Amino acid sequence: MSETCVARSVADLVTVADALLRFASGRKKFALIGDLGAGKTAFVKAFCRRLKVAENVSSPTFALVNEYAYFDENSHAVSIYHLDLYRLKDLDEALNIGIEEYLDNNSYCFIEWPEIIEPLLPVDMVFIKIEVLPDGSRQFLMKAV
């Protein structure tokens, strides 16, 4: 199962976030795949905007993990985790930061550079490949098993 969307501007990213919510059908773990500068963090910002996250969404490159909160339909605070594993050297480092806690809960979790934890990825993971097209727009290919 797959779906493709194109964002021609930053404003279009919220539309892609809507498409992801429909495509994911309740799945909440997302692997973001793309070159540096492809728009992985910009997409997470748009997704958080779509869920009305009030706090500033930024790249977790140095912190490794950022946590944001939004309120669900029952007005309960719910977490969104945004992980950037670019600086990790191996699976052991991922385990040392508690990667399994982020994968084994019911919160949304976006993982940039997920290749290093591939053996730990849940079977219901949604993979999102982001490509920069020649005109500067971004193509999002969403895949799930």
Residue 2's SS3 state is strand
Q: What is the CATH number of the domain that holds 15?
A: 3.40.50.300
135: its two tokens: 């005109």
Number of domains in the chain: 1
Q: What is the pLDDT of residues 23-77, one digit of tens each?
A: 999 999 999 999 998 999 999 999 999 988 988 888 877 778 999 998 988 888 8
Q: How does pLDDT run across 129-143, given as a tens digit for each residue? A: 999 999 999 999 999
pLDDT at 121: 93
Question: According to the model, what pLDDT value does residue 136 have?
Answer: 93
Average confidence score pLDDT of the chain: 92
Q: Helix, strand or coil for residue 90?
A: coil
Cβ neighbours of 80 (radius 10 Å): 20
Please give the residue range of the domain that contains residue 11: 2-143
Q: Residue 145: is its pLDDT beyond 90?
A: no
Q: Which of 71, 86, 122, 115 is nearest to 101 (CA)?
A: 122
Phi, psi of 41 (to 5 degrees): -70, -40
Tokens, residue 107? 């919160």
pLDDT digit string, tens, across residues 94-142: 999 899 999 999 999 999 999 999 999 999 999 999 999 999 999 999 9
pTM: 0.91
The structure tokens listed for 66 are: 């950022």
In DSSP terms, 140 is beta-bridged to 5, 130
pLDDT band at 14 (very low <50, low <70, confident <90, very high): very high
Do the strands 77-84 and 65-71 form a parallel or antiparallel pair, or are they unpaired? antiparallel
